[in-house]
Structure 1
Amino acid sequence: MMQKFIIPDIDSIPCRTNIQGQDAKHIFKVLRLNPGDPIEVTNGAGKDYTALISSVSPGNIKVDIIDEHDSSTESALHITLCSGMLKDKKMDLVIKHVTQLGIYQWIPFFCERSIPTPDAKRIKNRHQRWETIAVESLKQCRRSRLPQIFKPLSFENLLDHAEAYDLKIAFWEKATQRLDTLTRNSSPLNVIILIGPEGGLSETEIETAQKKGFLSYSLGPRILRAETAAISSCTLIQHILGDI
């Protein structure tokens, strides 16, 4: 099964457009596709397309988009994962894997036990890298919608953002409530998941989140690393409420 390629801003069908850069090199040198071969394309916003290659070169692939169809890989469950800020490579790992799991949004945030706050330039560079990682993960797992990736928020701003969600879950190592008390809802849900940084959320932060409507749940008797907890929480919620 071939990976998808992203072409944003597809306005009308049929149409002719180009694939350039690394994707063009991959099609030309690795996949060795030829004129007339079909490929799968997505606009990154939930729509899939069938395209036929019309010409190939190392830096430019011309394609004719001939058909539009709804995605079969997107979940009706919209998960927003909120991750306490971690060191660079750990955050990269989280966004890589939760994109594959089907999350809708990802919000990094700063709280009491976060690492020191990077400067604005470094935040911008990290945000751009997270977006690149999400694109590569989307192509690999054949999703059709890129998750929206926020720039890091403060804990207070994050809680304000969470007001509109149907279900708010905070995973905390001291919680006693088990996830098996959750049941599948017949209609799609907007779920927001809160995972602390290394060292977890403080008791004050959990109490504040609970006052904002968050339910505190346990991820089991073992203490998980923050990046493991983030990936595990999305997997479990998708299994209970979604399509895994």
Structure 2
Amino acid sequence: MPSHRAEVGLNHYLLIIEYDGSRYAGWQKQPGMITIQSELEKAAAVVLGKPVKSTAAGRTDKGVHARGQVVTLSAPANYPPKRFLLALNSLLPKDIAVTGVRKANAGSNARFDASGKIYRYYIWNKTCRSVWRKDRWHIARPLDLGLMKSAVQFIVGKHDFRAFEARGSTQCSKICNLERIKITNHGGEITLTFAADRFLYKMVRNITGTLVDVGLGRIAPDALIGILDGKNRRHAGRTAPSHGLFLEKIEGGKFGDLL
């Protein structure tokens, strides 16, 4: 079980950040790699004059973007939230921005206080790719959204989702409550919105790739019943590329009005 003990003498902050993940090796710090966490902690250490520790609600992978990432950050320095926001944004790279800051309670933890997450995946479904939609998965062949929407009914709900989990996961439980998948199309831009209490490693991208295979007629909609029950990643569809995925919002009552 995670420890929520507060460290004595530390000040705690809750941040909302957004970023273009294109040139980053994901959220989490890694030796010799440029990550969102390393850039944020480096800027915060300059502002506060002390080393900081941060935790994100969603540990996004390489190339994945965020509009509403929640981060808790602790440091032995006190700084007014508004000034902290402005100071951080003056130091952060242009593809990372802090959009909200407030003081947090001792023991606050973005990862464990989150009650749910919302992701959006974007597809550009036109014959020609667009230079203005680099953060969209370009699929030239027309997708049958009727088939894709029909397939959704077989996987929403509380299930064991290991069939859609990539290798390398450290999560013990494979049970997630996938509350909804909404699919919309606006002029060839297809958006898949996912809401769940939690997601497994690359689960959104693997479900998206599978639904795309349904939309292309490669997988029957009701085949998702057997894929889910089989609990075998090899039986599901492809993995959608990372650049089309956005962490849209973190849900959690403990985060207050900042979200």
Please give the TM-score of this superposition, normalised by the length of structure 1.
Answer: 0.28
Higher relative contact order (CA closer than 8 Å, sequence separation 6+): 2
Higher helix share: 1
Please give the TM-score of this superposition, normalised by the length of structure 2.
Answer: 0.26
